[in-house]
Amino acid sequence: MNKDDIRKKIDLLLKESNELRYKDSKRAIEISNHAFNLCQDIDYILGEKVANLYKAHCYYNIGENDKVLPLVLDSLQYSVKEGFCDLEWMAYNLLGIVFFHLGDIERSMDFYDKAQVVAKEIDLGKIYHIDVTSQKSMVLTLNNIAENYKLLKQYREALNYCETVYNIDTQFDYSLTRGLILLSLGEIYYLLGDYENANCLSYKALQYLNKYNYNIAKADTYKLMALISWKKGIYKNADKYFHISMKLNDIESVPNYKVDALISYSEYLKEQERTTEALKVLTNACDLSIQYNLPEKVSKISLMLSIFYGQLGEYKNAFEYTKLHHEYEEEYNKLYYKNIVNSLNIKRKMQEIEKENNAIIEKNKTLQIQREALQILVEKISIISKLGQKITATLDKDALMENLYSSIKSFMNLSYFAIALYDEENSMINYIYVMDREKKIKQESLSINGDQTFAEKCIKNRELIVINNTHKEFTQYIDQKTYDYLIKLDNNAELNSLIFCPLIVNTKVIGIITIQSEEKDAFTPYHIEMVKSLSSYAAIAINNTLKSMELERLNEVLVSLAEKDKLTGIANRRRFDNYIDYIWYYSIQKGNSIALMIIDIDYFKEYNDNFGHLEGDKCITTIANALDNLNNKQYFVARYGGDEFMVVLPKYSIGDAVKLGEEIETKMEELNISHKFSKVSDRVTLSIGVASVIPDENITIKELITKADNALYIAKKQGRNQVAYI
């Protein structure tokens, strides 16, 4: 078979795999692998990247998420470089879906934003799939964004996105989303309690999912129909649809969806007092979550089982599931931090990709015009979306606080603004950011064990407090005595309007935002709704920032430990290699010289053999401390291994370096470490080799080390206990 025939076969295989992605993911992976191997045989790179993208999508479908990111990033980098707009959109869209299921909504929305930008370019740009259009790509991404808002329980916002997609897809007989928009819209109406609309849409969704062979979504549709029947009291239908959903999930389903369906079914059975069946289904959900490595699901379900068994009086089983809950809660926390690290790695990768993308855009005026047009469209998004993205765009605490303050100040007048964290263990409110009359001030922490305060009420009752006339409305929350005390304490009697809003993450109150104004009736319903919406973003952003800060602190500790010599506490060889690389290229840029000193303890083997390893370690540590604490600290010292030390001397001439070496020899005499087994002295002495160069592209670091090592050899050959140089 010649190259052209193999190419045709590859294209047919990829076409088949693309069609199977929504029906039979495992089969699609097999076909994509076959295509990939053929691509490698004829060096067909585009085919390889398309096969990888299809495999990434399918691995996500079957829950093998660890295989998804490497494949999709590999494909994305190629797509950006070569300008395949549809493949680039598919990659960004898939990344948005993956991070949605990892619970990282901020990162998910970032990728969906990128997907929207690229979707606009598809009709005018280069594409691989001839049937992909800007409109089709855009509606799929908007539908996914609706899922994010649904997870955040912002159902009205989700409904707006879904209705936009629905109005477009209706014109195409729902072919753009393969009927998926009908299911999404039905789910939102169900969550809003409109069961009639939800029921009509679910039946219609099933009709079009069948028409377009979108098998993966059918199980979720039957689950929705079961939930609606349950709410409407039609239990026979609820049982029927739950069973169909279970069977379809066994054939093909995203693991998260499969587990969620089992949880819903168990809750239904429990309400029907079918206890044995409910326990069996919930146990199955727990086992599947363990099988699919979903620690968050295991933690949640094991807690449900623990409570369930406790209610039945089966305390042994309840205890076992409580233990399982705590075990997987810890696993989930580990996974959370791992995901943060992965997120940071992906961010770095994305920056590389975006650099390439920007270079391409600079060369293509037509695409640049399209991007600017889209930017104008993006600027017309609602205020809350803009502000939400702004405050969740950074993990820097100070920048986040400033963004929050400026965001809220942009749509309402205020005199006082503060953010505080709730320390539940110590019953304290710790203020981390306070602006009073546009001046940043410090405010002492408050105990919430004493008199009731607005802040304490807000935290304990988990409720928004809004007061538009403090002197008249305070009695709804605190008594006269406490109010008088607070006015005296804060010296803010002139503040007449107050908002205290709890910051809640995963049902846990992590702190409060308070906004206060000298004006009476300062806060309108519009202001209140804006603050409520922003507080959701703020809580997530602050929580992520705190966790990121803790992770950075831990990483700094780990890096420090990895680059320190365990015995002496000074830099080790790894740190030396990193440092000399940095200072070498810096010196090339600046035209500076570098000197290197290699220091060896004379007759250290004899010292170690006769005095013992503990004394040998003590000797090495003493010398290391002496080298690290000389008066002139414009140098870098590291233990290179054994009894050998390296000293890097930026901007040193050979003369200056030799002079420092002689000072070190003098310092050794002052240390006066006894060594009667030395052949050159009755004290410990050093041999020092020195070399100096002005780095350029024709000299390597290795050559400098070799020169210093040769100088050390000369020092030893000439009798040790001296400084030699080349």
Q: What pLDDT, in 10s, does the model give residues 316-369?
A: 988 998 888 888 877 776 766 565 555 556 556 656 656 665 565 565 555 555
Q: Give the whole-angstrom CA distance, residue 669 versus residue 569.
A: 23
E strand or H helix that includes residue 653: none
Residues forming a β-bridge with 516: 416, 498
Question: Which of 416, 420, 424 lies closest to 401, judged by CA?
Answer: 420
**245-269 mean pLDDT:** 85
pLDDT tens across 173-220, in order? 888 888 889 999 999 999 999 999 999 999 999 999 988 888 778 988
In the prediction, which pLDDT does 359 show? 61
Residue 443: HSE in the Cβ half-sphere, 13 Å Cα cutoff: 22
Burial class (CB in 10 A: 0-12, 13-18, 19+), 659: middle
Question: Which of 223, 138, 151, 152 lies closest to 181, judged by CA?
Answer: 138
Distances (CA, A) of 135 to 170, 171, 176, 369, 659: 13, 12, 8, 18, 74
Residue 140: HSE in the Cβ half-sphere, 13 Å Cα cutoff: 23
Q: Give the whole-angstrom CA distance, residue 323 versus residue 304.
A: 12
Q: What residues have CB less than 8 Å from 689, skipping those under 6 apart?
A: 597, 598, 708, 709, 710, 711, 712, 713, 714, 715, 723, 724, 725, 726
Q: What residues have CB less than 8 Å from 508, skipping those under 6 apart?
A: none
Q: Which long-range contacts (CB under 8 A, 24 or more apart) does 269-274 make?
A: 270/308, 271/230, 272/235
Residue with the bigger pLDDT between 255 and 268: it is 268
Asked which of 128-142, 559-573, 588-602 is least confident by mean pLDDT, the reply is 559-573
In the prediction, which pLDDT does 584 show? 95
**483-488 mean pLDDT:** 68
Whether domain 394-555 has CATH 3.30.450.40: yes
pLDDT tens across 54-78, in order? 999 988 887 777 788 889 888 988 8
Strands 723-725 and 686-693: parallel
Instruction: Provide the 3-class DSSP secondary structure of residue 2.
Output: coil
Q: Is the pLDDT of residue 410 over 90?
A: no
Question: Which of 80, 690, 637, 663 lies closest to 352, judged by CA?
Answer: 80
**659-680 mean pLDDT:** 94
**384-390 mean pLDDT:** 59
Q: Is the pLDDT of residue 521 over 70?
A: yes
In the prediction, which pLDDT does 680 show? 94
Q: Give the whole-angstrom CA distance, residue 244 versus residue 229.
A: 14
Q: Which two tokens stand for residue 591?
A: 């035209």
**613-617 mean pLDDT:** 94
**649-668 mean pLDDT:** 94
Q: Give the whole-angstrom CA distance, residue 129 versus residue 702.
A: 51
Q: Is the pLDDT of residue 386 over 80?
A: no
**464-476 mean pLDDT:** 84
Q: Which residue has the tokens 């097999």?
A: 30
**376-392 mean pLDDT:** 52
Indicate the Cα dihedral angle 322, 324, 325, 326, nearest 10°: 90
Angle at which helices 195-211 and 180-191 pack, to 10 degrees?
A: 160
In the prediction, which pLDDT does 373 show? 47
Q: Give the whole-angstrom CA distance, residue 89 versus residue 357.
A: 13
Q: How confident is the model at residue 102 (pLDDT cuts 50, 70, 90)?
A: confident
Domain span(s) for CATH 3.30.70.270 in the chain:
573-725
Distances (CA, A) of 57 to 91, 251, 289, 460, 570: 9, 17, 20, 44, 48
Q: Which residue has the tokens 């929504």?
A: 22
Could you report how far apart the first and last alpha carbons of the chain are, in Å? 65
In the prediction, which pLDDT does 377 show? 39
Q: Give the whole-angstrom CA distance, residue 162 versus residue 146.
A: 6
DSSP of 133-180: -HHHHHHHHHHHHHHHHHHTT-HHHHHHHHHHHHHHHGGGTTTTTTTH
Q: Give the whole-angstrom CA distance, residue 467 versus residue 187.
A: 36
In the prediction, which pLDDT does 378 show? 44
In the prediction, which pLDDT does 434 show? 93
Residue 181: other Cβ atoms inside 10 A = 28
**Quick one: residue 438, left, alpha or beta (phi over 0 = left, psi -120 to 50 = alpha)?**
left
In the prediction, which pLDDT does 417 show? 92
pLDDT tens across 672-714, in order? 999 999 999 999 999 999 999 999 988 999 999 999 999 999 9
Give alpha helix (H) positions in 313-443: 315-363, 365-378, 383-391, 397-409
What does DSSP assign to residue 512? E
Q: What residues have CB less than 8 Å from 137, skipping those under 6 apart?
A: 86, 89, 93, 115, 118, 119, 122
Longest dimension (CA), the chain: 100
Q: Which residue has the tokens 């006066």?
A: 672
DSSP of 238-265: HHHHHHHHHHHHHHS--HHHHHHHHHHH
Instruction: Provide the 3-class DSSP secondary structure of residue 505.
Output: strand
Residue with the bigger pLDDT between 546 and 184: it is 184
Q: Is the pLDDT of residue 567 over 90?
A: yes
Q: Is the pLDDT of residue 489 over 60?
A: no
Q: Is the pLDDT of residue 606 over 90?
A: yes
Q: What residues have CB less than 8 Å from 80, skipping those under 6 apart?
A: 88, 353, 354, 356, 357, 360
Burial class (CB in 10 A: 0-12, 13-18, 19+), 351: exposed
Q: Give the whole-angstrom CA distance, residue 688 versus residue 474.
A: 78
**Quick one: residue 441, left, alpha or beta (phi over 0 = left, psi -120 to 50 = alpha)?**
beta
Q: Is the pLDDT of residue 646 over 80?
A: yes
Query: In whole angstroms, how large is the CA radius of gyration of the chain?
Result: 33
Q: Is the pLDDT of residue 92 over 50?
A: yes
Q: Is the pLDDT of residue 158 over 80?
A: yes
Q: Which two tokens stand for residue 688?
A: 């020092």
E strand or H helix that includes residue 310: helix 295-312
Q: Is the pLDDT of residue 138 over 50?
A: yes
Q: What's the CATH fold of domain 174-293?
A: 1.25.40
CATH annotation of 573-725: 3.30.70.270
Q: What residues have CB less than 8 Å from 278, skipping those under 6 apart?
A: 266, 267, 269, 270, 308
E strand or H helix that includes residue 475: none
In the prediction, which pLDDT does 340 show? 57
With a pLDDT cut of 90, the percent of the chain lying above it is: 47
The CA angle 112-170-380, to the nearest 5 degrees, is 40
Average pLDDT, the chain: 85
Please check whether residue 305 is in contact with residue 331, taking contact to mean a CB–CB distance below 8 angstroms.
Answer: no
Please check whether residue 47 is in contact with residue 34, taking contact to mean a CB–CB distance below 8 angstroms.
Answer: no
Q: What is the pTM of this model?
A: 0.44
Distances (CA, A) of 536 to 97, 130, 467: 21, 41, 20
Q: Which residue has the tokens 């930008």?
A: 117
Q: Is the pLDDT of residue 221 over 80?
A: yes
In the prediction, which pLDDT does 335 show? 63
Residues forming a β-bridge with 428: 423, 447
Q: Is the pLDDT of residue 99 over 90?
A: no
In the prediction, which pLDDT does 73 show? 86
**500-518 mean pLDDT:** 90
Q: Is the pLDDT of residue 379 over 80?
A: no
